[in-house]
Structure 1
Amino acid sequence: MTKTATTPTKKRALLLGCPDERLKGVRRDLQTMKGILAPRGFFCDVVYRATRDQIVAGLESLAREAGQGDAVVVYYSGHGALVRRSSSGSGASDRPLQFLVPCDFDDTTEDDFRGVTDAQLSQLLRKITDRTDNVTLVLDCCHAARMARVPGTVKTVDGEFYKEVFGHIRAMLEDGRLDAGGAHAERNPRLVTVAASAQGESAYERPFEGEAQLGVLTEALECILGRAPDGRGEMVQEQEVSWRSVMVRVRDRFKVTCPSQFPQIEGDDLRFTFSLSRAQLDGALPVEITEGGRVVLHGGELHGIRKGDTYAVLPASEERNISAREIAKATVERVGPVASHVSLNKDVAQISRQHGRSGGMKAFPKSRKMGKLPVAVRHWRSSVDVAGLIGASPFLYVTDERENAPFALIRQEKSIVYLESREAGDVVLTGRWDLNKQNQTKSVEECVRKMEVMARSRHLFAVAKQTESKDIARHVSVEVGTVAAGGKKQPSGPKGLVVKEDDKIYIEVRNEGRSTVYASIFDLCPDSVSLLSTASPSGRELMPGETYLYGERDIVFGELEGSRMSWPEEMPRDSKRFFERIVVVVTTGRMDLRCLETQSGSSASRGDELDAEGLSDLLSDIIFDTRRGGVGPQRNEPVQFGMRWASIELTQT
């Protein structure tokens, strides 16, 4: 993964501003964003007071002009709106409808809707990602019916307005302006989206240091990404930083400037900013030092963290574990549901002064006590010390298969190395390497990394079984099944769901309790853990009685398309079947749980922050189930989690 391998051939940015009489900071937002992008080599097309047609034309122009390898940024500052249907009965999906509010929005008529709907925006962005994979969308706007970005000012949208938006989208579908096909069930996988607020919440602008108004998200991005370091409009060599690390610091900045606002990151947050190269965070978690001098690791029972685990603490700017950059060694002393207290082997006060109390450090695992899983080795003849590699792993240990049933087996036959997963009598071949055709050391290291992923998947499933009896989990129902012709649901039977390749499945999650919860859906394969609900990386909000149907198209009519089942690309086809587990993590607050996700065949996780709105304001209280308050929306209960799960057996066609 070299920097030159993904260097964009061209860099283009479309900066859109839509002010009104109350949004005073839009012009400065655009200037600030140009100050971030232009020194990085972006040609910036700035459109102030953008109309609907200008927004559409600008995006279509990007789609025409972009080429493979180009870097594209789309930035919007203005109002965003979300409307919900006030009553059912139209036969359409009940999902909320979102749209941007251009400057000519007030010219909307019954036959001419002047907003830019999420469906239309998604289609325009898909045309751009069809040309280049390196696309970033930044939305400094609300995603709720409360569209104000000025604190204290709330702009509401009549619930009946839902019919107008729905009618507009239906008309676009009927006359061909909007394509119902090709929509992603969750999110465009090639797009990274930075959003100022969660769905259903407001975003704000405010004065900073006595100056003119500025969007809170835009100000945070300027603080972290900055302007040209040399002050002459040209970027000097900068350290690559991932969007994940940027968002940890953005959320930390929000705790100071606007605690009630919770920014979101969607897409591959391991990408370096405005690049396709990726960080190697290897399960890193944020560390912070509270006002009282207590050191907190943002990971807990949900992560399988246990007392006595040790971590290497590095500066937040580090994107991989480099021993020479280690600040201190952290040891877990007390574990809570979603975060833990740790001790450091160096002076906490000095580290706090040097690296900041919050968001300035991240921790990489050194040794784990979560329960290493046994691995057997059979007929090993390679010169590579596979037992040593397994012994050095925080997740594995070598065992004698005759004395202890292993969860995985490595065996060598001539030059071929096989990796088998074993569970309840089932043997599944999950990997195969030819040592005569591949580098021996790299092949064995890859095999061990894959076993570490298998171990993490097994641990997460164990946590799911242990926590499904919690009240929060019992109040959420989960149904899985296949999708037949015409979008008809066929639920699984009591023995679980059995499917073949190319079958389409759905997952239905329903909140049957009395309180709002947030649901994240994960797929546990033999060699990977993947987040399925990618459209809501901090959890899909479910109000009492509300249902989330995974497998719907991301289009207003909610047509049930289903998710196609396929054999994992890196798994040999020698086995006739294997089991997947669908795990639904239910929380009482927004949490970015991509820290649980892995890449197939790698130990690297896809998200290192675990945060909830206002989490670190009184984090010590939350960790150990004490009550808390704070600035912004009040929560009278601590953040809790529970899990539900379902099994799917996938067979070859």
Structure 2
Amino acid sequence: MTLRAVLIGAQTYGLTGVHADVRLMHEVLRKHGFTDIVTRTKELACYAGIKEALSRLRAATRPGDGVVVYYSGHGALLGELQYLVPVDMADSTPTDFRGYLAEELTAAVRALTDVTPNVTVILDCCHSGGAVREAAYEAGRWALKSVELPRVAQGAGLERAAALSRPGDPLVPDVVRLTACQQHDSAYEAELRPGAGRQGVFTAALAKVLDPRRHLRVPWSVLVAHARDRIKQQQVRQWPDAGGPSGRLPFSLEEPSEPERLPLVRRDGRFVVPGGAVFGLGPEDSVGMMFPGGHAKDVGQEFSVPATVDAMEAGDALLRTTPAAAPRSLAGDLRTAALPPGAYALVVRVHDRRHVLIDAQAPFAEALRQELARCPRLAETDDERDAFATVRVTQPGRCEVLNAEGQPFRKPAGTAHSDPARLTALLEELARGERVRRLRDPEGAGRLDAALEVRFEAEHPAGSGDWRMLRPVGERLYSGDSYRVTVANLSGVPLYFWVIGVGLSGRTALVTNDQPSGYRLEPYGDEHRSTRTTASVRIYWPSDVPAQGPRPETVHLLVGDRPMDLRGLASREAPSRSACTTDPALGALLQELWYGVRDQQMDVGEEFHYRVWTVHADALPQSREAEA
């Protein structure tokens, strides 16, 4: 296996730190074992140079290789046209548009994944529709990675984009996407050390957390959260994100088992889990607050401080803890408003636990009980009426996990069902699905007060373009059917929405996983999108689920007043085809590549308010045509 990279730095329109970004990323990748690194800076970062570099990367890549595509420079968003800004952007003519388009980047990335699934795209740029590089602040120390771009004819660019876009093309599935900022916001470069010159704030933070000495076997999602916290402490309103299979370890396909990490912030002197209600927290639940080591000798270590949910404020969980319980090196941090970068919360025990009935003999039953005792969201019951799942041994070394109707959730998978630890992991996933399936509006102050219009629609026959409204309950969906969700913001404030699916297999999916912190809906009447329709989502009957139906299929639309990372609601495993898989148009991919909205460090005084719209349907294993 060879680790390969193309590093593109287009230092244009007032940017001065791009070349430093490329040098820094080159050094970082070398430390991680990259041996084939191609850089394109100065005149080589022109439109033709970018296109050629990515084409050569595709030709050199072999199955099993690891690939990185990195870009530092300006990013532009002009209406529906999104593009990187090469150094020869000003040479565009009505028939020769020199911006490197979203669709071109999409095609280049898809070509790479045709050879290897180990692809990472890192974009340190902004999307500010031409309104770019504004005045610096902090006495000129900071500057936007953007500038007022010259007016160029877009016609050729729109034609090129249209020729590359094909409705119904799937997203590139194996790409880890690391983005510097949200779609309509900007990224910054800064002089981070006196006299060192400017460099990209995101690139600098990412390089810091990628130091192999600091974090061993930590996935991208966690590393980017650490980078985000570092940027927050620099008082920069720039929120990086990690999309795609961000549970992977850097530059590999390995996805380690990770606990359910929840966001943790300080607000008015209190520790808070923002959006705690959505994650199933309630009064008197127990969590562990996790803090990274505060001194050089603690690098790579984490310290846990026990806490209890004291009260719910809107949709947030307020924590009660004793600073004296923390290690001495952290005591000062617990008394200040700023958390150390990388702090988060773990669930220890919750009030709303799902009950499991064990129909088995010792020693298997005892081993399973010991595993259940360590699960924060599971408990044993001896009353089948209380059980959401029953574990039944049918013969030595073989058992089934049955739902309340006596149907197997999944087909027995050899040792996966006979190993108590792996069986418990399956039960935890199914319990998460049952909890998320019951997601509903919060009570009292947590309810969002905003005017919205919501439509759930299904298409049949498939591919006909004939969409009809779905009822909240009583619908029947068949394998191969598709649905979509449209939401319109009729209020005067920006809102965020997520689509969450709980499939017939019990797996949960953040359907809008390209933007895990929420699709932004602009205020009503704003020139940018105040109404959005998701790409179509196709219902599949997974191969590991017995073809017995009907089974419940649930779709939630959650709308909130703050960005919030809801990746924690999704199933941990990633089957090749889950009950819900997205199938959006190609034109959405650049938003997935570039978009990044952050919630981890919410501003003081901002509580999370939300509402939930739901369709509960019955899914059937056959196609609609076969039923007819």
> What is the TM-score when the length of structure 2 is the normalising length?
0.82
Equivalent pair of 1:377/1:398 in contact (CA under 8 Å): yes
Does the 8 Å contact 1:287/1:358 carry over to 2?
no
Is contact 1:52-1:102 (8 Å) kept? yes
Higher mean displacement: 535-544 or 353-362: 353-362
SS at match of 2:205: helix
Q: Does 1:105 align with 2:97?
A: no
Question: Which stretch of structure 1 is more off in the superposition, 61-70 or 148-157?
Answer: 148-157
Q: Secondary structure at the match of 2:340?
A: coil
Aligned partners of 1:494, 1:307: CA distance in 2, in Å? Answer: 30
* Paired amino acid for 1:532: V
Distance 1:466 1:108, change over 3 A: same
Instruction: Report Cα offsets for 1:73-99 as digits up to 9, x if no partner.
Output: 111111101122xxxxxxxxxxx3311
* Pairing 1:528-567 to 2, within 5 Å after superposition: 528-545=507-524, 546-551=530-535, 562-567=536-541
Q: Is the 8 A contact 1:141 1:196 kept in 2?
A: yes
Mark the CA change 1:353 to 1:360 in structure 2 (over 3 Å): closer, same or farther.
farther
> Could you tell me how far apart the structure 1 residues matched to 2:321 and 2:486 are?
42
* Residue among 316, 338, 359 paired with 2:341: 359
Retained in 2: the 8 A contact 1:473–1:644? no
**Equivalent residue for 2:276?**
300
- Is 1:121 equivalent to 2:99 in the alignment? no
For the Cα contact (< 8 Å) 1:587–1:642, is it kept in 2? yes
Contact 1:147/1:202, CA 8 A, preserved across alignment: no
Against the structure 1 CA distance between its residues 383 and 163, is the aligned structure 2 distance closer, same or farther, given a 3 Å change threshold?
same
Which 10-residue stretch deviates more, 380-389 or 202-211?
A: 380-389
Aligned residue for 1:144? Answer: 128
Residue 376 in structure 1 maps to residue 328 in structure 2: no
**What is the letter of the counterpart of residue 542 of structure 1?**
L
Q: 2:502: which partner in 1?
A: 524
The secondary structure found in structure 1 opposite 2:172 is: coil
- For structure 1, the residue ranges without an aligned partner over 5 or more in a row are 1-8, 85-95, 230-236, 318-323, 552-561, 603-610, 623-637
Once the two structures are superposed, residues 288-318 of structure 1 have per-residue CA deviations (whole angstroms, 9 ceiling, x without a partner) of: 567x76444455111111232223444548x
Q: CA deviation at 1:388?
A: 4.2
Residue 583 of structure 1 corresponds to 556
1:182-197 to structure 2, matched below 5 A, reads 183-184=169-170, 187-197=171-181
Match in the other structure for 2:489: 511
Partner of residue 47, structure 1: 40
Give the C-alpha shift of residue 616 in structure 1. 3.6
Q: Would the aligned equivalents of 2:93 and 2:152 in 1 still touch at CA under 8 Å? A: no
In 1, are the aligned partners of 2:355 and 2:387 still within 8 Å (CA)? yes
- Superposition pairs for residues 308-387 of structure 1, below 5 Å? 308-316=284-292, 326-336=303-313, 337-344=315-322, 346-347=325-326, 350-353=329-332, 357-369=339-351, 371-378=352-359, 380=361, 383-385=364-366, 386-387=368-369
Matching of residues 85-104 of structure 1 within 5 Å: 96-104=80-88
Deviations 1:147-173 (A, max 9, x none): 535654764569996655323323xx2
Aligned AA (1:64): A
Deviations 1:596-648, CA, capped at 9 Å, x for gaps:
1123599xxxxxxxx975764644x33xxxxxxxxxxxxxxx44222211123
Do the aligned partners of 1:145 and 1:157 also contact (CA within 8 Å) in 2? no
Q: Distance in 2 between matches of 1:600 and 1:223?
A: 29
RMSD (CA atoms): 3.2
Q: 1:599 to 1:270 in 2, by over 3 A?
A: same
Question: Any idea what SS the aligned residue of 1:20 has?
Answer: coil
1:460 is aligned to 2:445? no
Q: Distance in 2 between matches of 1:166 and 1:258?
A: 37
User: Using the alignment, how far apart are the partners of 2:184 and 2:468 within structure 1?
Assistant: 32
Structure 1 residues 462-482: Cα deviation after superposition (integer angstroms, max 9, x where no partner): 332556993447624131312
State the identity as a percent: 24
- The question of whether the paired residues in 1 share the 8 Å contact of 2:97 and 2:153 is answered with no
In 2, are the aligned partners of 1:123 and 1:183 still within 8 Å (CA)? no
3-state secondary structure, aligned to 1:35: helix
One-letter amino acid of the structure 1 residue matched with residue 5 of structure 2: A
- CA drift at 1:381: 6.5
Q: Which amino acid aligns with 1:13?
A: A
Distance 2:451 2:433 in 1: 22
Answer yes or no: is the 8 Å Cα contact 2:556–2:614 preserved in 1: yes
Contact map agreement 2:452 2:487 (CA 8 A) in 1? no
Q: What amino acid maps onto 1:374 in structure 2? A: H
Give the alignment partner of residue 251 of structure 1, picking from 199, 222, 228.
228
Match of 2:27 in 1: 35
Are the aligned partners of 1:22 and 1:150 in contact in 2 as well (CA < 8 Å)? no
- What is the TM-score when the length of structure 1 is the normalising length? 0.79
2:587 paired residue number: none
The answer for the alignment partner of 1:205 in structure 2 is 189
Q: How far off is 1:346 after superposition?
A: 0.9
Q: Which residue is 1:554 aligned to?
A: none
Per-residue deviation, residues 364-392 of structure 1 (Å, max 9, x unmatched): 322222x2223333365663423444344
Task: Tell me which amino acid in the other structure corresponds to 2:514.
Answer: A
1:420-435 equivalences in 2 (<5 Å): 420-422=402-404, 426-433=405-412
Paired residue secondary structure (1:453): helix
| Alpha-carbon distance between aligned partners in 2 of 1:482 and 1:181, rounded to the nearest angstrom | 15
Shift of 1:179: 6.2
Number of equivalent positions = 569
Identify if the C-alpha distance between structure 1 residues 338 and 595 changes in structure 2 by more than 3 Å, giving closer, same or farther: farther
Residue 321 of structure 2 aligns to a residue in which SS?
Answer: strand
Match of 1:214?
199
Distance 1:74 1:160 in 2: 27
Give me the whole-angstrom Cα distance separating, in 1, the residues matched to 2:216 and 2:472.
Answer: 53
- Whether contact under 8 Å (1:83, 1:161) holds in the other structure is no
Structure 1 residue aligned with 2:579: none
1:479 touches 1:507 (CA, 8 Å); kept in 2? yes
Give the corresponding residue for 2:580. Answer: none
Matched residue type, 1:36: V
1:112, distance to aligned residue in structure 2 (A):
1.4
| Residues 326, 409 of structure 1: alpha-carbon distance in 2 compared, 3 angstrom cutoff | same
Distance 2:185 2:348 in 1: 38
Q: Structure 1 pair 242/649, CA: closer, same or farther in 2 (3 Å)?
A: same
The change in CA–CA distance for 1:614 and 1:538 in structure 2 (over 3 A counts) is: closer
Q: Name the structure 2 match of 1:285.
A: 262
2:439 counterpart SS class = helix
Structure-1 separation of matches of 2:166 and 2:558: 30
